A = this chain, B = another copy of it.
């Protein structure tokens, strides 16, 4: 400011600078974002997010190339797997369940550990990751969902990072709690250092100082391990919205599958998770694979985690039952349940008997007349018994008098309905009651 040219006062300069910044900002805001333009043969490369492509495609390819010239030592393999699980947990137990969903609280040392190893997975800062993830939950499957599976499996897996995104499209969410968390803020501010150190330098140093395998540490525990952790956790956005059952809600895409769970350190019970996002568990059965849950539980025993949130079993079962009921109702609607009783003609009992004398094979059961002509020779109880019911009210006979028919036999009956008999039973009593009711009303009128 003190070096401003003479004709302008300091205040003037500040104002001018402000105006300029403002004008630029407006211009930027008004310039249509690249994602608003259709992709063409000329501009397609502008749609690509080159930094991300570098991070999730080019580097792994270089790692593979390097691996070709680098023998894999036993200790380096072990270390790579160990570090794979640590950085994976950084994402699942840290980024996801702790910060995005606040499904438990962590002490400072645990937070620092999670922010560090989570950074080593190279998937962005806690702050950026959680903001997108909250939008994903709040706007699941809509255009505001940053990685909506409705745009394709590949898009939800990796496409949303490979292609540029219009930041205005992503749904807005409240991350004030994250902005209040010093660990989150620190990690976000120094993110590039965290990534470089935890993603590559630290795993290399461990292998180098530990057993002299600097190059192997860099290639295997660094680059290739990053690749595997990334692909595994990306599956939560793709596979978990594509493969499996929907025991709690089938209006949206999340699904439960053990394969997804195995790949993602237990994030595979994703239908449950979208329904109960603030539950620190993803798998609720003891025999399901959810090592992230086991880790959180262990930290609790060690005094590092507390306030583990859990939905009551009652609430979970309510959801399960309602979804099951929905499925049953849908299925029921596709089946043939016979002519509805109220659409059947009403027959006098005398006419029913008369028709049987004239040779029709009618049987009265529970007030409904059934024409069993086609069924007599197929009757599992034999012709004689079913014939013995013709022309009679066989309700009692059918319901245990001679034989207590199965549920299947009762169902079968509905195929043979031809009429209801006046004064036959229940249905008739009900019909009469309804009739009498009407009469009394018209009497009042």
Footprint of B on A, CB under 8 Å? 101-102, 138, 174, 176-177, 248-249, 274-278, 309, 311, 314-315, 317-319, 321-325, 328, 331-332, 335-337, 378, 380-382, 384-385, 403, 406-408, 411-412, 415, 444
> CA A422 – CA B116 in complex, angstroms?
55
Q: Which residues of B contact A101 (CB under 8 A)?
A: 380
Q: How far is the CB of A424 from chain B (nearest CB, A)?
A: 23
> CA A275 – CA B323 in complex, angstroms?
27
Question: Known contacts A378-B278, A380-B278; is A408 also within 8 Å of B315 by CB?
Answer: yes
In the complex, residue of chain B having the shortest beta-carbon distance to the beta carbon of A318? B411
**Contact status B336-A314, CB under 8 Å:** yes
**Contact status A321-B311, CB under 8 Å:** no
Q: Which residues of B contact A323 (CB under 8 A)?
A: 407
Question: Known contacts A177-B382, A335-B314, A378-B309; is A407 also within 8 Å of B275 by CB?
Answer: yes
**Residue from the list B319, B332, B411 in contact with A411, Cβ < 8 A:** B319
> CA A120 – CA B148 in complex, angstroms?
65
**Contact status A321-B331, CB under 8 Å:** yes
Task: Provide 22 A-B residue pairs closer than 8 Å at the C-beta atoms, listed in order of the A residue.
Answer: A101-B380, A102-B380, A138-B403, A174-B384, A176-B382, A177-B382, A248-B407, A275-B406, A275-B407, A276-B408, A277-B380, A314-B336, A317-B335, A318-B335, A318-B337, A318-B411, A319-B407, A321-B328, A321-B335, A322-B407, A322-B411, A324-B324
> CA A319 – CA B331 in complex, angstroms?
12
Interface centre among A332, A384, A406 (most CB of B within 10 A): A406
Q: How far is the CB of A147 from chain B (nearest CB, A)?
A: 19
Known: A317-B335, A321-B335, A444-B444. 20 other contacts (CB 8 A): A174-B384, A174-B385, A177-B382, A249-B406, A249-B407, A275-B406, A278-B380, A309-B378, A314-B335, A315-B411, A315-B412, A315-B415, A318-B337, A318-B411, A319-B407, A319-B411, A322-B411, A324-B324, A324-B328, A328-B328
Q: How far is the CB of A92 from chain B (nearest CB, A)?
A: 18
A-B pairs, top 4 by smallest CB distance, nearest first, are A278-B380, A318-B411, A275-B408, A314-B336
> CA A102 – CA B318 in complex, angstroms?
45
In the complex, residue of chain B having the shortest beta-carbon distance to the beta carbon of A444? B444
Q: Which residues of B contact A337 (CB under 8 A)?
A: 318
Q: Which residues of B contact A411 (CB under 8 A)?
A: 315, 318-319, 322
Q: Which residues of B contact A384 (CB under 8 A)?
A: 174, 176
**Contact status B408-A248, CB under 8 Å:** yes
**Contact status A328-B325, CB under 8 Å:** yes
In the complex, residue of chain B having the shortest beta-carbon distance to the beta carbon of A332? B321
> CA A335 – CA B102 in complex, angstroms?
28
> CA A325 – CA B277 in complex, angstroms?
29
In the complex, residue of chain B having the shortest beta-carbon distance to the beta carbon of A324? B328
Q: Which residues of B contact A318 (CB under 8 A)?
A: 335, 337, 411
> CA A330 – CA B171 in complex, angstroms?
41
Q: How far is the CB of A15 from chain B (nearest CB, A)?
A: 35
In the complex, residue of chain B having the shortest beta-carbon distance to the beta carbon of A403? B138
**Residue from the list B102, B311, B378 in contact with A408, Cβ < 8 A:** B311
> CA A304 – CA B271 in complex, angstroms?
51
**Contact status A331-B317, CB under 8 Å:** yes
Q: Which residues of B contact A275 (CB under 8 A)?
A: 406-408
Q: Which residues of B contact A248 (CB under 8 A)?
A: 407-408
Q: How far is the CB of A423 from chain B (nearest CB, A)?
A: 29
In the complex, residue of chain B having the shortest beta-carbon distance to the beta carbon of A275? B408
Q: Which residues of B contact A102 (CB under 8 A)?
A: 380
> CA A328 – CA B249 in complex, angstroms?
16
> CA A325 – CA B332 in complex, angstroms?
10
Q: Which residues of B contact A322 (CB under 8 A)?
A: 407, 411
**Contact status B249-A174, CB under 8 Å:** no
Q: Which residues of B contact A332 (CB under 8 A)?
A: 321
